[in-house]
Amino acid sequence: MTAEKRKIGITDTSLRDAHQSLLATRMRLSEMLPVLELMDQIGYHSLEVWGGATFDACMRYLDEDPWHRLRQFRKYLKNTRLQMLLRGQNLVGYRHYPDDVLAEFIKKAVANGIDIIRIFDALNDLRNMEKAIYCTKEEGAHAQGTISYTISPFHDLDYFIRVSRDLKDLGADSICIKDMAGLISPFDAFELVGKLKEQVGLPVQLHCHYTSGMASMAYLKAAEAGVDVIDTANAALAMGASQPATDSMVAAFKGTKYDTGLDLELLTKVSAHFQEISCGYDIPREVMGVDTNVLSYQIPGGMISNLASQLADQKATHLFKDVLAEVPRVRADLGYPPLVTPSSQIVGSQAVANVLTGERYKMVSTEVKNYLRGQYGKPPGEINQDLLTRVLKDEKPITGRPADMLKPQLAEARQEVEEYIEQDEDILSYIIFPNVAIDFFKRRKGLLPPLQLNSSCSRGKAVNRVAGLPNEQNNLMLDSLFSVDETLIWRDEINIVYPAG
C-alpha cells in the first residue's frame, strides 16, 4: 500500500520504547536481527529503534556498541524510516552537553542511519531543543518537535499550542504529543490533536503509554481529530507500561477511512517473534495491566516501581504511601515540571529523601540544586521561593540558555580516550557516559572480562548478571531491572546527596 492511500501512519516502538518500558531496555541486537527483514516489509510510517535509554543500556548491560546496533538496523531495514528519541540538549544522557557535542552526535546519528529525530525537553524549554532541531535539519533529517504532556495548573491547551507553534518556528517538521505517563484522556486527546492540526498546521503524532488503560481510546479519538501518526508496539510487547498494540490498532481502523493499510497477517508474524523473545524475560506484574495510580499521583508507572525499589533498598517499604504523596508536593515546589527523564528522577529522588530524613529538604541532591540554579532550563511554573532561598542562599539562578555556559568538549575528550578509540563515535559514547564507556572499551579490547550475559531466551532470567560483582550488587540490578532510567541516575556517581544546610 502506498503512502498516499494510508490514512494513519504507524510508528512501531518494539525496538526501543516497548522493550525499554517492559524489559528494562535489555533486548539484545541478536534477538532483533531475525525479524528485521520481515518488519521492513510491513510499511510502517517509521520504526523507533534508537535513543532514550537504549544507548546507555547497550554498553552498560549488554556489552554492545550502540553505534554498531544502529548500523545493523540500517543494513536490514532498507525501506523503513528509522526514528530515534533525543532528550534535546541532554542527548541520550541525563545532563546538558555543549553544542559541539550535540552537533557531532546528531551528525553521526544521521550518518549511521537515523531519518527522524524526536526531540523533547523535560521542561518543554525551547532553548533546550532549538539547537537540536537546527542540527537535525542541517543533516537533512526530519526534526520532530515534541511537547512533553502533563497535567498541572500551568499546562493547558493554550500552553501546548504555544509551545508547538514555537517549535514550528524553530523549524520542526512535525509535532509529537509525548504522553509518557499515559495521562491523556480520549476526549482531551481529541481536543488537543484537533487544535494542533487547526492552529499549528504541522503533522501530528501521538505517543501514549498504556499505564492508565486509556491509550487506545485516546488513539481512536485522536484519529477522529485528524492525527497523522500513532505509536504502537507489536502485540507481545504492548500494553501495560508500553504502547497500544500495533495489531489491535491496525484491526480497529481496518476498512474505515482511518485504515492504516498494514497487513495484519504479516504483523502477526512479527508479534510471534517477539512473543518468543519475551518468554525469556520475567515481565513483572507492575509494568503489565492497568495502574490508575498514575492518574491520582501523576507519576509514570516506571517511576512508581522505581520508588518502591529505592525504598526497599533502604528497608523503608512502609513509607511508600508517604513517598507517593510527597512526589506531587516536590513537583509543585519545583514549578510543575512534566515527569520525564531527567525531571522524574530529580523529583522522585528528592521525594524519597524528604520522607526518609523526616524533614523536607534537609538533604538536597546535586540535581535539585542545579535545577534550582536554572541549569535544566525554565520550569513551567514558579519555584517555591522558600526552597530557592534555603538552597541557593544569595546565589542568583541563571536566566540564559543552560548550554551557553558549557565549554566545547570534543577535542579534549578525543585526547582523553585516544588509546581506546576505534571509531569517531566512541568519543561521543565517552562524553555522554564516561565510566560506562571506558569499561565497555576495555572489555572490547580484552582488558576486562566480558559481561556474562545469560543465554538468550532462558526463561525467567531477564537480568544479565555482571561477572565479578558481589551478589548483593547484582540483586540491586535485579531490583532496578524495570526502571532503568531512574536507577541509572540515582546510582550515578555524579548524584551525590548532601545537606542543604
For Co ion, the binding residues (CB under 5 A) are: 17
Closer residue to Co ion (CB): 11 or 278 = 11
Comparing CB distances to Co ion, the nearer of 17 and 425 is 17
**Bridging pattern class, strands 46-51 and 9-12:** parallel
Shortest spacing between CB 118 and Co ion, in angstroms: 10
Cβ-Cβ contacts under 8 Å for 13 (sequence gap 6 or more): 48, 231, 232, 233, 242, 243
Q: How far is the CB of 180 from Co ion (least distance, A)?
A: 5
Distance CA 73, CA 390 (A): 50
User: Which H/E stretch holds residue 275?
Assistant: helix 264-278
User: Is residue 433 a contact partner of residue 59, using CB atoms and an 8 Å limit?
Assistant: yes
In the structure grid, which three cell numbers stand for residue 28, read together?
539484545
For residue 34, the one-letter residue type is: P
Q: How many residues does the chain have?
A: 501
Query: Whose CB is nearest to Co ion?
Result: 17
Nearer to Co ion, 17 or 121 (CB): 17
- Compute the least distance from the CB of residue 303 to Co ion, in Å: 13
Nearer to Co ion, 17 or 130 (CB): 17
Q: Shortest approach of Co ion to residue 117 CB, angstroms?
A: 15
Q: Pick between residue 17 and residue 173 the one whose CB is nearest to Co ion.
A: 17
Q: For Co ion, give the closer residue by CB, 17 or 64.
A: 17
CB of 396 within 8 A of CB of 82?
A: no
Smallest distance from Co ion to CB 21, Å: 7
Q: What cell was used for 360?
A: 523536607
Note every long-range contact of 449-455, with CB atoms under 8 Å and residues 24 or more positions apart, other chains counting.
Answer: 450/63, 451/61, 451/62, 451/63, 453/28, 453/62, 453/63
Distances (CA, A) of 192 to 142, 218, 226: 23, 11, 11
CB of 207 to Co ion, least distance (A): 6
Q: Between residues 12 and 17, which has the closer beta carbon with respect to Co ion?
A: 17
Q: How far is the CB of 460 from Co ion (least distance, A)?
A: 26
